Every structure is written in C-alpha cells, then in structure tokens.
Amino acid sequence: MTVTAEKPASEPSVVKPSWDKGLANTVAAETQMSFIDGAKGILEYVGIDIDSLARNSTFEETVFLLWNLRLPTKAELAAFEQSLRAEYALPDEMYKVISTLPKHATPMHALRTMVSALGTLDPNADDDSLDANRMKALKLVAKTPALIANFDLHRKGKPFAKPDATQNIAGSFLTMLTGQKPTAAMNRALDVCLILHADHGLNASTFAARVTIATLSDMYSAMTTAVGTLKGPLHGGANEEVMVMLNEIGTLDRVDAYIRAKLAKKDLVMGFGHRVYKTTDPRATYLKTFSKQVATDTGNEKLYELSHAIEELMAKEVGPKGIWPNVDFYSATTYHSLGLELDLFTPMFAMSRMSGWSGHCIEQLKDNRLIRPQALYVGPHAVKYVEMAAR
Ligand SMILES: CC(C)(COP(=O)(O)OP(=O)(O)OC[C@H]1O[C@@H](n2cnc3c(N)ncnc32)[C@H](O)[C@@H]1OP(=O)(O)O)[C@@H](O)C(=O)NCCC(=O)NCCS
C-alpha cells in the first residue's frame, strides 16, 4: 500500500467521523523522514533506499540524515559524532536512580522508568523551543545506550560502566555491556541493526510519541510513552518472541510440526506479518544475508538454518495471504549471534528508534495540532442513576 492521501485544503469545522479500526487507512501526520510502500516492499529514509543505507552508512550518519533531511559532509558528520559523544555520559544522579530499580525488573520496564527519570534531571525538560528540543533529542539518543547497559550491569550485581566517547554508539554500548571492546564485525552488526530500526513512518510507538508531544507536553514524556508502546509483542517485543520460538523449536526436524500446529490453532508466528508490508519487509532482505554472515562467523549456523527453514515453510503456507518475514525475524538471529541477551533485544530497538521518535516530535511541533480521534459509543443511553441502597 502506498499512502497517497492529500491534505485537505482547509479543514471543515464539522466532519462526519469515519470508522477505521486500528487506523490502518488513516493518514494522521506528515513526515519527511521515511517513506514506505508496503506493496512493493520499499522503505526510504529521506528518499534513500534502506538497503543502500544499511550497506554503506553508519547509525550516526543515518541520524544526521533523518534530523537534517540530507546527508552530512565529512566535516559535518565528524562534528555531529562529536556532539553525540559529548552527551554519552549520564548525570551522576542517574546512576543513583538505576541502583534503586528492582533487579528482577525487565529491561523495557526499566528503560521506560529511566527515560522518564532523565527528564527530571534536565533543567530544560519543559523548554519547548526548537533548539532545546534538538538538544533533548541529541541527549536522548546519546544517553540511552548507557541507560540500557547500566541497568543490565545493575541487575547482574556488576559495577556500573561509563560510556566510551572514543567509540561510536554501537561500540560504546557493547563495551559497557560486556566489559570488552567489540570486534569490528560485531560493532558493524549492531550498527546495521541500528540503521534498520531508526525510523518507520507512523508505527505505533512513533504515533504514541506524536500524540504526547502534540499536547505540548515535553520530549521526555513523549519518549517515555514511546518506550512503553514499543514494548508490546505486536510491535518491538516481537524480536524477543522470535527467539523464544527458535529456542522452543530447537532443531530443524521439529520446524514442520511446530509451525503447522501454530497455524492450525490460528496462533501468530512471531517475526512474520506486517500492518503495512504485504511482501517481505525491505529491512529483512539485507538483515537475512547479514544475519547468515554473523551467524556463520560466530558458530551459530544452526540458528540461521532454523530461521531459514521456518521462512520457507511460512512462505508456502501463508505467503499467499501477504504474510512474510518482518525486520524482527532475522534481527533475533543477529542479536543472539552477537551474544546479546534475549530481553535486551527490544531495548536495542528503542536505542535506535529514539532517533526516529524524537525527529517525529520535532516535525509534529512545526505544524502542531492536538491529535484527538473519536470513539464510537456502543453503550446504552438514558440509563437511570440508581441509589446505592437500591442496587
Ligand atoms: C504485525 C501484525 C500485528 C499485523 O497485523 P494485521 O495487519 O492486523 O494483520 P491481519 O490480522 O490483518 O492478518 C491477516 C491474516 O494473516 C494472519 N496473520 C497475520 N500475522 C500472522 C503471523 N505472524 N502468523 C500467522 N498468521 C498471521 C492473521 O491471522 C490473518 O488471518 P485470517 O485472514 O485467516 O484471519 C501481525 O502480522 C502480527 O501480530 N505479527 C506477529 C508479531 C510481529 O512479528 N510483530 C512485529 C511487526 S514489525
């Protein structure tokens, strides 16, 4: 599906509301950041095909592109990387906040709380100017890796780590998490995943972020909303569910029975299907080849083979219905091959999407209107209030 809706020249004061469950056929915002053609399987960031970006760009360059609507020059990219690195560090109080979080909390619950807490520590949290919002976006993208990594260290009873401003975001994150500088291949694998997850039109969490910022709340509140929305298994949480499924299946000979049983029960097979793409998700195309390479390099070929067998069977069984692998399917194999823990998969998605969310908030504020759809009331009318004693 390509979205071709035209903006009405003037908005009539009284319009008959239309019923669109799930808002699948509703255009609710304009964006210059990403374009999706679900029928053809195209995703572009500012007009550049996602495949070219995944093969040639870096996460930092991609964020510059999304926020400035053009590629940077060499000097601009160096300056932008520098400004991100200058904001990697967390305020000292943030480490105190992290140390009070329950160790059994899941990282997505913790991330939602930490992003919110970061807002309490920013004296400019409520400054609504464009410059202040750009700064908040920069801080959020720069600091989220340290939030995720340090919560992971905290729950494992390990000492906190400081970000490494000599490395890119992927490298600094993996170093904090594992205590070791990643190899160039590991760094690149995470960098590619960050590029692929950075923005995706008006997906559920981005929509949620825009709804929040459109009330003229603040960037931290919008990012907190977005993290909570991403957490769901129908959205960002799907990559964790894919890994759970791969673990449950275990061996190649069990793929057929497992998948057929799921389909027979009308259960969802995680990592397949998409609200917009009715063909292979373009982010999954490169990730599939890439995850094969990463899996081979790290001795996880069996996991890749398992994923591939599921994909082939699903293509036969539900491909004709428009159900194809989405980005979460092969990102699960990639993250697992990198040695990353299951419940960190979705936080890493958030680490990347923070750039898209904050970019959308700035776009929303440029031409803001409160986002407030209507509900179709399906309850009774004219019901008499009954006194407590008479109920
Ligand atoms: C993403 C998702 C919510 C899109 O949902 P949607 O646009 O509402 O899709 P629909 O419910 O219209 O799906 C159409 C049909 O395909 C089936 N279907 C959709 N996704 C499926 C899946 N992952 N496995 C099996 N069947 C699936 C539906 O059951 C429905 O079947 P029916 O026509 O027999 O009733 C859905 O595909 C899903 O839950 N996928 C798994 C979770 C996931 O990977 N999410 C990450 C998205 S990036």
Mutate to test the pocket of ligand 1, among 246, 313, 321 (most ligand atoms within 8 A of CB): 321
Q: Are 90 and 168 found together in one domain? A: yes
pLDDT greater than 70 at residue 8: no
Predicted confidence (pLDDT) at residue 211 exceeds the cutoff of 90: yes
Measured CA to CA in angstroms, residue 186 lies from 133, 214, 293 at distances of 32, 38, 11
Distance CA 321, CA 315 (A): 9
In tens, the pLDDT along 117-154 reads 999 999 999 999 999 999 999 999 999 999 999 999 99
Q: Is residue 119 part of a domain?
A: yes
Q: Are 73 and 191 found together in one domain? A: yes
Q: What residue numbers bound the domain in which 302 lies?
A: 238-337
241 Cα to the center of ligand 1, angstroms: 14
329, 356: one domain:
no
Distance 108 CA to ligand 1 centre (A): 23
At residue 255, does pLDDT exceed 70? yes
pLDDT at 13: 58
Amino acid residing at 227: V
13 in a structural domain: no
What confidence score (pLDDT) does residue 50 get? 96
Q: Is the pLDDT of residue 1 over 60?
A: no
Residue 200: give its domain's CATH number.
Answer: 1.10.580.10
Same domain, yes or no: 159 and 242:
no
The pLDDT of 172-185, averaged and rounded, is 95
Same domain, 190 and 304: no
- Tokens 């995706």 belong to 200
Q: Say if residue 291 is in the same domain as residue 197.
A: no
Q: Which amino acid is at 318?
A: V
In a shared domain, residues 307 and 221: no
pLDDT of residue 3: 62
Choosing from 193, 245, 272 the residue with most ligand 1 atoms within 8 A of its CB, the one to mutate for a pocket test is 272
Mean of pLDDT values over 361-383: 96
**What band does 12 get if pLDDT is binned at 50, 70 and 90?**
low
Residue to substitute in 235, 246, 323 for testing ligand 1 pocket (most ligand atoms within 8 angstroms of CB): 323
Beta bridge partners of 37: 2, 42
Q: How confident is the model at residue 234 (pLDDT cuts 50, 70, 90)?
A: confident
Q: What is the pLDDT of residue 289?
A: 87
25 alpha carbon to ligand 1 midpoint, in Å? 16
189 shares its domain with 254? no
Closest alpha carbon to 240 in 120, 350, 118: 350
CA of 344 to the centre of ligand 1 (A): 24
One-letter amino acid at 146 equals A
Same domain, 271 and 256: yes
Answer whether residue 56 is part of any domain. Answer: yes
Tell me, yes or no, whether 272 and 223 share the same domain.
Answer: no
Comparing 25-39, 196-210, 232-246, which segment has the lowest mean pLDDT?
A: 232-246
- 69-101 CB burial, b ≥16 within 10 A, e <16: eeebeeeebeebbeebbebbebeeebeebbeeb
Q: For residue 38, is it within any domain?
A: no
**What separation in Å is there between the alpha carbon of 285 and the centre of ligand 1?**
19
Residue 219 shares a structural domain with residue 255: no
Q: How large is the average pLDDT for residues 237-248? A: 92
By alpha-carbon position, which residue is closest to atom 30 of ligand 1? 321
pLDDT digits (tens, 9 = 90+) for 78-101: 999 999 999 999 999 999 999 999
Question: What is the rounded distance in angstroms from the CA atom of residue 239 to the CA atom of residue 193?
Answer: 12
16 or 259, higher pLDDT:
259
Number of domains in the chain: 2
CB atoms inside a 10 Å sphere around CB 125 = 15
- Please give the structure tokens belonging to residue 330: 């092969």
Q: Which atom of ligand 1 is nearest to the CA of 267?
A: 25
Q: Which atom number of ligand 1 is nearest to the Cα of residue 327?
A: 48
Kindly state whether residue 302 falls inside one of the protein's structural domains: yes
CA of 321 to the centre of ligand 1 (A): 10
Q: Tell me the best of 1, 25, 275, 314 to mutate to test the pocket of ligand 1, counting ligand atoms within 8 Å of each CB and taking the most.
A: 275
CATH of the domain at 312: 1.10.230.10
pLDDT averaged over every residue in the chain:
94
* Positive or negative torsion for Cα 106, 117, 132, 61: negative
* Residue 343 included in any domain: no
Cα dist from 81 to 64, 72, 141, 355, whole Å? 9, 11, 11, 14
pLDDT for 237:
85
Contact 295, 303 (CB under 8 A): yes
The distance in angstroms from the start CA to the end CA of the chain is 52
Establish if 371 belongs to a structural domain: no
Q: Is residue 360 part of a domain?
A: yes
Nearest CA to ligand 1 atom 20: 273
- Same structural domain, 192 and 250: no
CA 287 to ligand 1 centroid distance, Å: 21
Q: Whose CA is nearest to atom 27 of ligand 1?
A: 268
Residues at CB less than 6 angstroms from ligand 1: 234, 238, 268-275, 318, 321, 323, 326-328
Q: Which residue lies with its CA nearest to atom 9 of ligand 1? A: 275
Q: Which residues are known to be catalytic?
A: 235, 274, 328
